[in-house]
Structure 1
Amino acid sequence: MIAAVLAGGFTGVDLSQPEFAVGEDHIMSESNVVAVDLTEQEWYLLRRGMGEWGGSASPTDEIARVLGFASEEDLLRGEGRRLREALKREEALSWADWRRALFATEVVFASAIVGAGWDWSITTGLSDEETIGLLRAVQGKVFRAMRSA
């Protein structure tokens, strides 16, 4: 699938409007709002991760759809902007928004093809080592919060 996305040929399922998330032992509505107790550095990571899509990253409509947005425009100026503002205010988010923010951050950090790649540490001030540690912490907190919601 990733090869198809990079080649511009991805026409698979639109993940921007999923109805349910399946957990290990239950199904949770995408619209459930869940507060996650993140540190200031963890909030910063997600804010920068979402913000890099309007900076050093190179999104396309296909990449935006894989990340859970309707289009590149939606990622940069629509739902992505709304999500960036919610992250600035450190708000509780829906499962769909937590997933989009986390996945968008993972991709923009790691990918030198569509993401910030090597520029990440320069543009965010976070080293790769710091970022990986923060990502793992956020992943754990978000998924534990989802399971307990």
Structure 2
Amino acid sequence: MTLSARPPSALLGGDEVTLLVRATSQWGGPAHASEGLARAMGFEDTSAMLVELAALGRALRTDTPLEPIEWARVLVATEIAFASDLFGAGTEWRTMTGETDEATIRTLRAIQRKLGPVLRGFYGGRASLLAGTTGSELDEGKR
């Protein structure tokens, strides 16, 4: 564990971790990504995304520390799984998770606020979600 890695219990409440676990488990089911979306989310490709999100879901459940880049990937995967009807569970969220949109958005906003300091370097494309790649390199097609 590096100094920047943090376990879920150090940052979030139980309901918040549960939401992240539920959202990461939607990928490969109702939530699915194109290769381009998977790359924009910080994964090498869709196959790697599914493997890594499964591992991140296990890490969340077992309170294993996550690096900031892993927190960023979990958050963006959650945001898309919840809100997107094209790539995520979208309008089927309640059916798939048992959670209402209203409760989910309140919890998601709390997560976003709590993770803000951890994710500061990722906002606005200042750092890429792809390890070792800058946002400008992605824009220029260098990755």
Q: TM-score when scaled to structure 2? A: 0.74
Q: Which of 21, 24, 28 in structure 2 is aligned with 1:47?
A: 21
Identity of aligned residues (%): 38
1:146/1:115 Cα in 2 relative to 1: closer, same or farther (>3 Å)? closer
Structure that is richer in strand per residue = 1
Contact 2:26 2:81 in 1 (8 A): yes
CA deviation vs aligned residue, 1:75-130 (integer Å, no higher than 9, x gap): 112x2222111111122210000000001100111100111111111111111111
1:70 is aligned to 44
- Paired position in structure 2 for 1:7: none
- The 3 A distance-change label for structure 1 pair 66 and 145 is closer
In structure 2, the partner of 1:92 is 65
- Contact 1:46/1:101 (<8 A) preserved: yes
TM-score scaled to structure 1, two decimals? Answer: 0.72
Question: What is the total number of aligned residue pairs between the two structures?
Answer: 117
Unpaired runs of at least 5, structure 1:
1-29
Gaps of 5+ in 2: 121-143
Q: Which amino acid aligns with 1:91?
A: T
CA distance in 2, matches of 1:103, 1:43: 14
Which structure shows the higher helix fraction? 2
